[in-house]
Amino acid sequence: MTDPVLRISGAGLRLRGRDLWHGLDLAIASGEFVAVLGPSGSGKTTLLRAILGLQKLSAGSIRVDGRPVRRGNDRVGYIPQQRPFPLGTNMRARDLIALGVNGTRFGAPIPRRGDRARVDALLEAVGAASYADDPVGSLSGGEQQRLRIGQALADHPALLLCDEPLSSLDLKNQRAVTSIIDEQRRSTGAGVMFVTHDINPVLASVDRILYIAGGRFRLGTPDEVLRSDVLSELYGAPIEVVRTAGRLLVAGIPEGEPHHPHHDHDHEEDAG
C-alpha cells in the first residue's frame, strides 16, 4: 500500500470561539472516494479550506501526498459548488478549463507548447468537446459543472476536493457529474473527498463516509455510518435512517437541513 494522498491527524478547528470539530483523523488512499456529510455549519467547507491551505487548523496536521498543506498546491484539484455563470460571461467553455492550465502563471500570457492539447484532452475527458467553443453563459448547469471538473483535473491532482458539486443540478446531471468523477478517480488514481448534502447520487461510488455533526464525527463504510443507532448517537437525538426504493433517507435531524443545498455560500462567512 502506498502512502495515502491525504492524511489528517488529530485535526481540530476553533472558529469564533466555537469548536467545529476536533480530534479528526482521516487517511484517503489513492483512488478512494470519501463522502463528507453533515448538517449546515458543521464545518465541511472549512475542512476543505484547511486542506487547500486557506484555513489554519487550531490543532493537528494535514498532509497531502506526504507533504504539509500549503496554498496553491498543484497536487490538489478543487471543484466548487455549482454557481451558474451569467449569460454574458466573457468566456468560452474551453477558456474555463484553460484557467486550470495557465491561470496561475504570472508573466506575459504567452501560450506554452502543449497547452492547447492539454485543454482539448481535458474537454474530451469530461465529455465537453462538443460545446468547447460555446460561451459558458449559454451552457446548462450540468455542462458548466463538467467544465469545472476539467479545470480541477488540469494538473493531474492526487486529491480531488469536491465542495457540493451536485447542488442545483437535476438528477440526470447529478448522475453524469458523479460518474465523471468516479471514472477519473479510477483512471488517474486520484483520491476523492466529496462534500455533499445528499448521499444518494453518490452512494454507488462511495467507499467511506465521514459524517460530521455537532463537533463530532463518524468514519466508516456507508453501511457502518448510515445507521439509525450510529447517527442517533452522533446527533444525540433520535434519527431514523430509512432505505426505500433504492434511496436512503435520513429523518429527524435536529435543526439541520441536510437535504437543503445552501446557495448562500460565501466562504468568508460560511463555515458549513
User: Footprint of another protein on this chain (CB under 8 A)?
Assistant: 52-54, 70-74, 76, 78, 80-81, 83, 88-92, 95-96, 98-100, 102-109, 135, 148, 151-152, 161, 266-267
Cβ 57 to another protein, closest distance in Å? 17
Q: Residue 44 region, left (φ>0) first, then alpha (ψ -120 to 50), else beta?
A: alpha
Cβ 56 to another protein, closest distance in Å? 15
Cβ 40 to another protein, closest distance in Å? 18
Cβ 71 to another protein, closest distance in Å? 4
Cβ 90 to another protein, closest distance in Å? 5
What pairs with residue 218 in β-bridges? 211
Tell me which residue of 85, 92, 81, 143 sits closest to 119, measured CA to CA.
92
**Residue 21 vs 78, nearer CB to another protein:** 78
Write phi, then psi, for 260 (nearest 5 degrees). -105, 110
**Residue 94 vs 218, nearer CB to another protein:** 94
**Residue 37 vs 69, nearer CB to another protein:** 69
Cβ 135 to another protein, closest distance in Å? 5
**Residue 98 vs 199, nearer CB to another protein:** 98
**Residue 73 vs 196, nearer CB to another protein:** 73
Tell me which residue of 26, 44, 24 sits closest to 36, measured CA to CA.
44
Which cell numbers in the block locate residue 151? 479545470
Radius of gyration of the chain (CA): 19
**Residue 147 vs 239, nearer CB to another protein:** 147
